[in-house]
Amino acid sequence: MALKQLLLANLFVCLAVPAFADEGMWTPDNFPFDKVNQKYSTHLDQQWLDHVQASAVRLAGGCSASVVSSNGLVLTNHHCVEGCVRNLSSPDSDYAKDGFFTDSMSDEKQCPGMQAEILEKITDVTGKLREATSGKTGEAYGDARNAAIAAIEKDACAGRERTHRCQVISFYRGGSYRLYDYRKYTDVRLAFAVEYDAAFFGGDPDNFNFPRYDLDFSFLRLYDNGAPAKTPNHLKWNPSAPKAGDPVIVAGNPGGTDRLLTAAQLESLRDFVQPLSLVLGSELRGRWTRFGEESPEHARLAERELFGLENGLKAQRGEHEALLQAGVIESRRAADAELKRHVDADPKLRARVGDPWKQMDDAQRARAALYKPFYLLEARAGYGSALYRYARTLVRAAEEKAKPNGERLREYTDARLPLVEKGLLDRIPVATDSEELKLEFWLTKLREELTADAPETALYLGSDSPQQLAAALTRSKLADAKLRRSLWDGGLAAIKGSDDPMIRFVLRTDGASRAIRSKYETQVDDPTDDAGERIASARVAVYGEQGYPDANFSLRFSYGTIRGWTEGDRNIAPFTTFAGLYRRATGADPFRLAPRWVEDRGRIDPDTVFDMSSDNDIIGGNSGSPLLNAKGEVIGAIFDGNIHSLGGTYFFDSQMNRAVSVSTAAMTEALNKVYGQQRLVAELMSP
């Protein structure tokens, strides 16, 4: 029970008064240099951090990375380029299976839809937002905030749209707003990717586990005006493995944590958000698994879908179990109540903050009523179908562009349209069989969850069965990028004149999708955000300093050490080696070695440090983040957490939560001995 008590103690600290243990995902403008330097005898300073920041890369699709050569070479995970690898593959040329290797830069291939971003500047825009939303609540609050954000983003990047992205990001659940100004690279090319069997050895069974034996790395390259980007201030590559206890810093973009939510918000996650997602995701997993057993080509298509799906399911189950742990929600409730008592005891504060907890509770009740239709008709509509996404993007962009910038759906404001356009027009292969599975699943679940008698079911399905409608919709021609371009350029008139079945379907149904989205935003999101902002401001007023804000896919720094942990009565060492990989291989999927690894066994140093665990505070989105030593040199790439890290969404348990990375030592050995990429090693090692 030591774990549980520790965990509850931690929790209470974290919630009532923000924690300052090794926990923390620190923003670049608030890193606790003194504390870290004192604890680890390091010499980190603003210059150190600025240097790292200038090479820390965010991949807009949801990953992190770092620049590691002067010619724009970027280190990230294999699983961060998984989609690119598969988009560049075909039944005849399977880079996922065989790996993707280049002899020179001219062999590098552009990743469709990929955008890399490097943070250049942060500006506090909280005042502007407060001014815009002053005195407003609920829907009016949401509308005013969105309009202000759209205007700020547009103005800030005016004239620099080709090379920059300006994004307003909310911190501390609305406690403050910052304008993040990114240098963006829209031409990102794949330079090197290992085989799936090497990158994801152990598959789903080993995922979120440690000891681990995954070579989960790859290289991209940033291009500018068709040539490799010049990046003289890149991070230095250090191919030596660290020692246990060495201090390590992670610079990356954790996607999201929920450490500042109220108990009511956590309960709604536990009671209906997570269960729905687990049940639907599990069923979809079953469909893809069987689909993948039907033929080699279906196996190839299914592998792509299953990687993300199974990863997400395992994470969600861990998160659900974390919220079910005795005391987790109860202690959050106690923290809520304590903060509320402080507010109620201070008339001035009370007048300013009001009772956001009541509003939050009401919003969660609205969420319970609206979540299923919102999920099925809007948030997960199409269930990943590319054809549906194309059609909806075309229809909505045409409709939204006709409106003033501040009144559009968030994702279609002027500052955000370039990425939408790139996602729409870049060419990717669209597999009809996969599309049909996704659409059929979506429509079946829509009918099941909303019931056969719901008016939405009648609107979406008509008298078709989900199978019939899915088959009809996949006859869409939107896989053709030229057609998408012509409809994008042609605007609403061209779209309304189209007889493409998916376009017709979206024109028929999108009103209902928009209606539930609007209702959900008005009744759930807006009051939640408004209440969250007031709770955040109460927290600052009562407890003073904020600590670190919840993760939101912006650049964060997390410090810690190379460290294992104790699992029951077993000490888990923080390193694995190549020798362990060979011991674990059975020959049967997913414990099967890629052929090169069988052939080249004799050439590889079996004692090379392979994967490592450290106690940095990270979460999904950190994938691909550089693991840095105190000198700011790259010694690894984060690719996972251990099984205990899954509760990290809600609390950080420093005894058990571990980040998992692949070492530069292993990458270098593999590049030299297995992949014959001395050229890349030379590039990495040059100053």
Site for a copy of itself, rule CB under 8 A: 202, 204-206, 209, 271-272, 275, 278-280, 282-291, 293-294, 313, 317, 320, 324, 437, 447-448, 451-453, 463-465, 467-468, 586-589, 591
State the angle between helix axes of 386-401 and 417-425 in degrees (0 to 180), rounded to the nearest 10: 140
Nearest distance from C-beta of residue 606 to a copy of itself, angstroms:
21
Nearest distance from C-beta of residue 579 to a copy of itself, angstroms:
17
Nearest distance from C-beta of residue 661 to a copy of itself, angstroms:
21
Residue given tokens 């109860």 in the structure block: 330
- Between 372 and 539, CB nearer to a copy of itself: 372
Q: How far apart are CA 192 and CA 228, in angstroms?
A: 15
Token pair in block for residue 41: 């005898």
- CA 382 vs CA 388, 409, 459: distances in Å: 6, 19, 15
- Between 154 and 584, CB nearer to a copy of itself: 584
Residue given tokens 């149904």 in the structure block: 509
Nearest distance from C-beta of residue 209 to a copy of itself, angstroms:
7
- Between 291 and 548, CB nearer to a copy of itself: 291
Strand, coil or helix: 322: helix
- Between 169 and 471, CB nearer to a copy of itself: 471
Residue given tokens 């603003």 in the structure block: 46
Q: How far apart are CA 653 and CA 229, in angstroms?
A: 40
Separation of CA 673 from chain center: 33
Nearest distance from C-beta of residue 107 to a copy of itself, angstroms:
35
- Residue 216's nearest CA partner among 576, 579, 567, 563 is 576
- Between 426 and 436, CB nearer to a copy of itself: 436
Nearest distance from C-beta of residue 662 to a copy of itself, angstroms:
19
Residue 256's Cβ-side half-sphere holds a number of Cα atoms within 13 Å equal to 9
- Between 192 and 375, CB nearer to a copy of itself: 375
CB atoms < 10 A from the CB of 236, how many? 18
Separation of CA 524 from chain center: 23
- Between 25 and 313, CB nearer to a copy of itself: 313
CB atoms < 10 A from the CB of 54, how many? 16
- CA 491 vs CA 110, 394, 395, 402: distances in Å: 28, 8, 8, 10
Nearest distance from C-beta of residue 638 to a copy of itself, angstroms:
22
- Between 436 and 633, CB nearer to a copy of itself: 436
- Between 97 and 350, CB nearer to a copy of itself: 97
Nearest distance from C-beta of residue 288 to a copy of itself, angstroms:
8
- Between 48 and 288, CB nearer to a copy of itself: 288
Nearest distance from C-beta of residue 290 to a copy of itself, angstroms:
4
Residue given tokens 């590039």 in the structure block: 683
Q: How far apart are CA 293 and CA 308, in angstroms?
A: 18
Nearest distance from C-beta of residue 450 to a copy of itself, angstroms:
10
* Residue 515 backbone dihedrals phi, psi, to 5 degrees: -65, -45
Burial of 443 (0-12, 13-18, 19+ CB in 10 A): buried
